[in-house]
């Protein structure tokens, strides 16, 4: 009976500690996870029920010099392109090689004089270690780079704070699970006692899932950088009054025309050798045989007349 009198005290201590921990987690959330991690439950003298939820020694933060920095990179580029559709195809091929993808695309046609030109924006997710390489290749693919901006945010403190809170909450969860098992095995426990511990365990699990979601989001932002591209057709970028002859652009266009011409001639030769020549040879067999028959018949006719 003494145990039954002390069990509500245990539940009250746990509930108070849970509410305190929840408040601490909420305050940390409003500060972008820069506040201290919620404290663990304090040990309580509960007779037969031993509740010792103390902070583990591994929750002590390591020195800043030993922590791997968590950096979130975001870049914005405005590119002048000769053909927007072709550029989009080239960007998709580039992302396939780099291991990234297009997360959002907003392309539309706008009138410029008598022409309808395609322009718009693309949002790319690029592996963090490939961001510089992808940006350099985009500069080479574009006719011109109108603007470019790169920002990096250090979220190491936020990430470390989330990890510390997760460790504390998981320790609390393990202790509550053990307490729930112990209460269920007691012959004199009431359903209210069991539900009190179970409800507190549910609250802890909800906090763990919330923090785990925050950690997953930070992992995604750190692992994949965001690159926003604005694609502007070259015809729109040109002034209404011609500023003069642009030799670099002429050389670029002439080089592209030469490459396209060589590709066409090479393809024509391959088609002729692989496809057209065998077909012509097969088609000439009956014609040659017919000519041979006609000549042979003419010779026989001439001999018979003689």
The 3-class secondary structure across the chain, one letter per residue, is CHHHHHHHHHHHHHHHHHHHHHHHHHHHHHCCCCCCCCCCCCCEEECCEEECCCCCHHHCCCCHHHCCCCEEEEEEEEEEECCHHHHHHHHHHHHHHHCCEEEEEEEEEEEECCEEEEEEEEEEEEEHHHHHHHHHHHHHHCCEEEEEEEEEEECHHHHHHHHHHHHHHHHHHHHHHHHHHHHHHCCCCCHHHHHHHHHHHHHHHHHHHHHHHHHHHHHHHHHEEEEEEEEEEHHHHCCCCCCCCCHHHHHHHHHHHHHHHHHHHHHHHHHHHHHHHHHHHHHHHHHHHHHHHHHHHHHHHHHHHC
Question: What pLDDT does residue 300 have?
Answer: 77
Residue, of 304 and 225, whose pLDDT is higher: 225
Is the predicted pLDDT of residue 55 greater than 90, yes or no?
no
Question: What pLDDT does residue 250 have?
Answer: 80
Evaluate whether the domain defined by 71-154+224-237 bears CATH number 3.30.70: yes
The per-residue b/e assignment along 221-230, b for 16 or more CB within 10 angstroms, e otherwise, is bbebbbbbbb
For the segment 165-205, what is each residue's pLDDT rounded down to a tens digit?
A: 999 999 999 999 999 999 999 888 899 989 999 999 999 99
Residue 115 CB neighbour total at 10 angstroms: 11
Residue with tokens 């002429």: 250
- From residue 228, give the alpha-carbon distance in Å to each of 155, 217, 242, 269: 21, 19, 30, 42
Question: Quick one: CA torsion of 232, 233, 237, 243, rounded to 10 degrees?
Answer: 150
Residue, of 59 and 86, whose pLDDT is higher: 86
Residue 122 CB neighbour total at 10 angstroms: 22
Residues in the chain: 306
Confidence class for position 1, pLDDT limits 50, 70, 90: very low
Q: Return all residues near 115 (Cβ < 8 A) that are at least 6 apart.
A: 235
Specify burial of residue 126 (Cβ count, 10 A radius: 0-12, 13-18, 19+): buried
For the segment 125-137, what is each residue's pLDDT rounded down to a tens digit?
A: 999 999 999 999 9
Question: What pLDDT does residue 40 have?
Answer: 38
Nearest alpha-carbon partner for 267 in 257, 256, 259: 259
Record the tokens describing residue 236, joined without a space. 């729109």
Q: Mean pLDDT across the stretch 89-97?
A: 93
Q: How far apart are the first and last CA of the chain?
A: 142
For the segment 11-51, what is each residue's pLDDT rounded down to a tens digit?
A: 554 555 554 444 444 444 333 333 333 333 333 333 333 33
Least confident of 55-59, 158-162, 230-234: 55-59
In this prediction, what percent of the chain has a pLDDT beyond 90? 44
- Domain boundaries defined on the chain: 2-66+156-214, 71-154+224-237, 249-306
Confidence class for position 237, pLDDT limits 50, 70, 90: low
d(CA 65, CA 132): 25
């Amino acid at each position: 009976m003494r145990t039954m009198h002390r069990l509500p005290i245990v539940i009250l201590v746990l509930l108070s500690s849970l509410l305190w921990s929840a408040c601490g987690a909420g305050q940390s959330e409003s500060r972008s996870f820069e506040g201290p991690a919620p404290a663990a439950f304090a040990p309580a003298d509960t007779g037969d029920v031993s509740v010792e939820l103390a902070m583990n020694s591994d929750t002590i933060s390591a020195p800043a010099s030993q922590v791997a920095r968590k950096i979130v990179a975001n870049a914005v580029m405005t590119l002048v392109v000769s053909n927007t559709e072709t550029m989009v195809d080239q960007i998709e091929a580039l992302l396939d090689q780099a291991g990234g993808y297009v997360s959002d695309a907003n392309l539309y046609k706008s009138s410029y004089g008598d022409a309808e030109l395609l322009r718009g924006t693309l949002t790319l997710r690029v592996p963090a270690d490939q961001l510089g390489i992808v940006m350099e290749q985009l500069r080479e693919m574009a006719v011109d780079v109108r603007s470019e901006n790169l920002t990096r945010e250090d979220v190491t403190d936020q990430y470390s704070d989330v990890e510390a809170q997760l460790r504390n909450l998981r320790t609390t969860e393990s202790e509550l699970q053990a307490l729930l098992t112990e209460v269920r095995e007691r012959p004199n426990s009431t359903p209210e006692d069991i539900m009190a511990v179970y409800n507190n365990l549910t609250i802890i699990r909800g906090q763990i899932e919330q923090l785990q979601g925050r950690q997953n989001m930070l992992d995604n932002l750190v692992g994949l950088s965001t690159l926003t591209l604005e694609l502007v057709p070259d015809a729109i970028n040109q002034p209404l009054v011609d500023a003069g002859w642009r030799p670099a652009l002429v050389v670029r266009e002439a080089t592209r025309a030469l490459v396209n011409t060589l590709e066409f001639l090479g393809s024509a030769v391959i088609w002729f050798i692989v496809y057209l020549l065998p077909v012509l040879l097969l088609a000439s067999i009956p014609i040659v045989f017919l000519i041979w028959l006609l000549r042979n018949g003419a010779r026989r006719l001439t001999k018979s007349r003689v």
